[in-house]
Structure 1
C-alpha cells in the first residue's frame, strides 16, 4: 500500500499568516497540486502534517479529499504513525515543494528508504552531506514514523523524519535535470510560485510529441495557459470554445468556403490548452476527452473538405482521400507505438491541409495528408514488428 505525507507548516515568505501550502498554484492551491501528484502515483491515503489549521488550509484539504482518497490532518509523528497503515510505504513531500509527476512516480512504490538528491542548493531543502542536498521527496516505510514518535515535541517533524530516513541507509535517487527545468524546487513566495507554476505548465505541454503539437499548438498553449490560470477560467470554457470553432469550420466548408477550415485551428489550440490544464489539475478523463475532440474535429473537417471537393468535381476522389486519411489515422492510433517526432497526427493533418484549402487546392491538400497518414501508419506498424 502506498501513502503520502505532505508537510504544510511554514508561512509564505511574502504573506504573513498565510501558509505556503495554501498559495495559488495552477488554478488550485499548492497542497491540492501535491495531493494530485500523490494520487496519480497510486497513493491510497494522504496525511497532511500541520502545526495550525487555517480556513484556507481546511478548504484545500477538503478539496483534495474529493479525489477519492482519504486525507487526514496530523500534528505530530505520533498521530501520523497511528493513522497510517503499518505496512504502507510513505512518500514524503516537503513543505512548499513544486515538482512533477515524473519525480513522484520515480519514488513511489515498494522498497527501502529512498531520498531524491540534488547538487543544486536552489532546488533543495536540507544538505545531507558535503555533496548532496535533499530535493524534497523521499520514501520510507511506515515504521519510520513510529521511530521518531518518541522524540521531544520541539523537534521539527520534517527534518527529524528526513534524518531518520537517511540514517536508515536510504537509497539516493538523483534529481533529473529535466525536473529542474520543469520547475522543481521549494518555493514559499507567492510571485515566485506563480513563475514555477508556469514552468510546470510548460513542461506539461512539452509532452505532446508530434511536430505540429510541439512547434505550433504547444507554443500557443504555453502563451495562453498562464493567462487562463491567472483569470481562473473554467476548463469547460476552453472545451466549449474548441468545439464551437470546430463546428464553425465544418459549417463554412459545407457552405462552399474551403478556407473555413482555418477556423478549426484556434479551436484545436484551445483544446490543446485545455488538455494541458486538465492534466495539471489531475483531471485525466477530461484531458483524454479533449485530446479525443482534437482528433474528432480534425477528422470531421477533413471529411467535410473531401465531401465538398467531390461535390464540386462530381467525382469521389476528394471524399476517398479524406476517408483514407481518417482510416489510416485511426488504425495508427490503435498500434500504441511510441510516437516519433516526424509522424503525423490529427492536428498535423489539419495544419497541413489548411494552406491548400485557403489557396483553393483542396484536392492537393487531401492527397498530401492521405500520403502522410499512410506513411505514418506504415512506420507505426513497422516499429511494432518483432525484429529477428
Structure 2
C-alpha cells in the first residue's frame, strides 16, 4: 500500500532567526532533504513539504530530490494541501527538525492504521512535544485520510503537525514507544541548531557505517572497510561524493601515463588508489541515503583499471582477462552474482593487487596473468552455477 509523507520546513533554527531547522546541514545535504530520502526509502511515493517561505536552500533541495526521482511538492497553504493530498492513502508525518533512524520510518511505513512514535517523558526527551502526563511525541506519525482531512477542515491557522498529533491522541491511536537508548545515542532527536545537528550526525553516520552493500574481492575485504572508516569523516567535513568520484576518475586516467612509460608498479598503485576513492564515493552516497550510480559513470574508474591492466602486459591473455573482468564487474555492480560469496567474485581490484604483488616480488606478470585468468573463469562459473532460480 502506497502512502504520502508530510514534512515541515517553517520553524526558525536556534542559530539564526533567518535560518530554518529544515535547512540545517546534515549528512551532506539539508535536513529536510535527508528526511525526504528517508520517507522515500520507507516507501512514500509522494512527499509534501510545508513551507512559509520558499528559500533558495529548499528550492535546491527539491531540485536534487527530483533529479534522483523522488517526487516532491512544496505547499504554502492548507488549500493547496487539501487539493493535492491523496484521499485514498495514509500519510507519514515528520516533525520539523526531527532526526529519526530509518528503522522507525520502516516500522511505521509497514504498519496499518493510525500510529504515533512516542517516547517516555524524561530529561532526554525534553525537546519533544508533550502529549500527556507520561509521554511525548517522538516526531513521527502515520495518519489515515479520515484523520488528516478531518483536521484540515477545522485547522485554520493552527500548526498542522501538532494538531494532527493531538487529534491522534484523542482518538487513542496505537503508540510505539522509542527505547531510551535511541534518545541517548542520537538515533531519535529533535535539533534546533547546527551544533546539535553535527553532534547527532556523528552518531547516525557511525551507526550507518556498520552496514552497507556487499561487494566482492578486494573491494569487499580491503576497500570496503577503509571506505566505511573514511566515509563518516568526509561526510562531516562536507566533502561531496561527486568530487571524490571525479578525483578517482582523474587519478585513474593519470595512472595510464606511468604504465605507458613502462613503470607499471607506480601505475598499478595509482589505479588501486583510484578504485579505493570510487568505493569511498559510493559510501558517501549511501550515508546520504542516495543510491550509488549504476550507469556508465560508475564504470569509468574500473575501465581505466582494466585498460591499464591490458596495456601493462600487452599480451592477448591480459586482453581476455580484462574482458572477463569487465563482465564480472557488471555482475558485481548490478547485484547479479547469485549466491556467490564475496571471496568468489574476482574483481579488477583483486587482479591488480595480485599482479602488483608479483611485480614487487620480481617474478613478472606472465605467470600471475595465468593464475588471474583461472580465478576469473572460476568466479564466472561460481556465479552461473550458484545462480538462484
TM (norm. structure 1) is: 0.74
Give, in whole Å, the separation in 2 of the partners of 1:175 and 1:375: 48
- Say if 1:180 and 1:330 are closer, same or farther in 2 by CA, change over 3 A: farther
Alignment pair present for 1:299 and 2:306: yes
Could you tell me how far 1:370 is from its partner in structure 2? 4.3
Partner of 2:152: 149
Give, in whole Å, the separation in 1 of the partners of 2:221 and 2:230: 13
Give, in whole Å, the separation in 2 of the partners of 1:180 and 1:347: 40
Partner of 1:169: 173
Partner of 1:219: 229
CA deviation vs aligned residue, 1:305-343 (integer Å, no higher than 9, x gap): 4x34x4xxxxx5555555555555555666343674545
Contact 2:62 2:72 in 1 (8 A): no
Give, in whole Å, the separation in 2 of the partners of 1:252 and 1:194: 42
Could you tell me how far 1:261 is from its partner in structure 2? 0.6
Give, in whole Å, the separation in 2 of the partners of 1:168 and 1:350: 62
3-state secondary structure, aligned to 2:212: coil
Could you tell me how far 1:31 is from its partner in structure 2? 1.6
Partner of 1:313: none
3-state secondary structure, aligned to 2:279: helix
3-state secondary structure, aligned to 1:71: strand
3-state secondary structure, aligned to 1:53: coil
258, 265, 276: which one aligns with 1:269:
276
Give, in whole Å, the separation in 2 of the partners of 1:196 and 1:171: 24
Contact 1:116 1:134 in 2 (8 A): yes
| Larger CA deviation: 36-45 vs 188-197 | 36-45
- Say if 1:360 and 1:135 are closer, same or farther in 2 by CA, change over 3 A: farther
**1:65-76 maps to which residues of 2 (within 5 A)?**
66-67=66-67, 69-75=71-77
| Larger CA deviation: 64-73 vs 17-26 | 64-73
| Larger CA deviation: 324-333 vs 266-275 | 324-333
3-state secondary structure, aligned to 2:53: coil
- Say if 1:115 and 1:248 are closer, same or farther in 2 by CA, change over 3 A: same
Give, in whole Å, the separation in 2 of the partners of 1:120 and 1:219: 35
Provide structure 2 residue ranges, at least 5 long, that are not aligned to the other structure: 215-219
3-state secondary structure, aligned to 1:12: coil
Could you tell me how far 1:363 is from its partner in structure 2? 4.0
Give, in whole Å, the separation in 2 of the partners of 1:177 and 1:222: 21
Give, in whole Å, the separation in 1 of the partners of 2:278 and 2:158: 49
Could you tell me how far 1:116 is from its partner in structure 2? 4.2
| Larger CA deviation: 212-221 vs 194-203 | 194-203
Contact 1:276 1:287 in 2 (8 A): no
Partner of 2:217: none
3-state secondary structure, aligned to 1:46: strand
CA deviation vs aligned residue, 1:259-316 (integer Å, no higher than 9, x gap): 11110122223322333344556664746555433543443333334x34x4xxxxx5
Give, in whole Å, the separation in 2 of the partners of 1:47 and 1:356: 57
CA deviation vs aligned residue, 1:220-274 (integer Å, no higher than 9, x gap): 4344343343xxx5x5433332112112223322332221111012222332233
3-state secondary structure, aligned to 1:112: coil
Alignment pair present for 1:160 and 2:163: yes
Contact 2:120 2:177 in 1 (8 A): no
Contact 1:205 1:221 in 2 (8 A): no
Could you tell me how far 1:15 is from its partner in structure 2? 2.9
Provide structure 1 residue ranges, at least 5 long, that are not aligned to the other structure: 311-315
Contact 1:32 1:63 in 2 (8 A): no
Could you tell me how far 1:194 is from its partner in structure 2? 2.6
Alignment pair present for 1:189 and 2:189: no
TM (norm. structure 2) is: 0.74
Question: Would you say how many aligned residue pairs link Structure 1 and Structure 2?
Answer: 373
Contact 1:38 1:104 in 2 (8 A): yes
Give, in whole Å, the separation in 2 of the partners of 1:27 and 1:303: 37
Could you tell me how far 1:20 is from its partner in structure 2? 0.8
- Say if 1:197 and 1:70 are closer, same or farther in 2 by CA, change over 3 A: same
Partner of 2:212: 207
Give, in whole Å, the separation in 1 of the partners of 2:183 and 2:275: 28
Give, in whole Å, the separation in 1 of the partners of 2:129 and 2:82: 23
- Say if 1:295 and 1:91 are closer, same or farther in 2 by CA, change over 3 A: farther
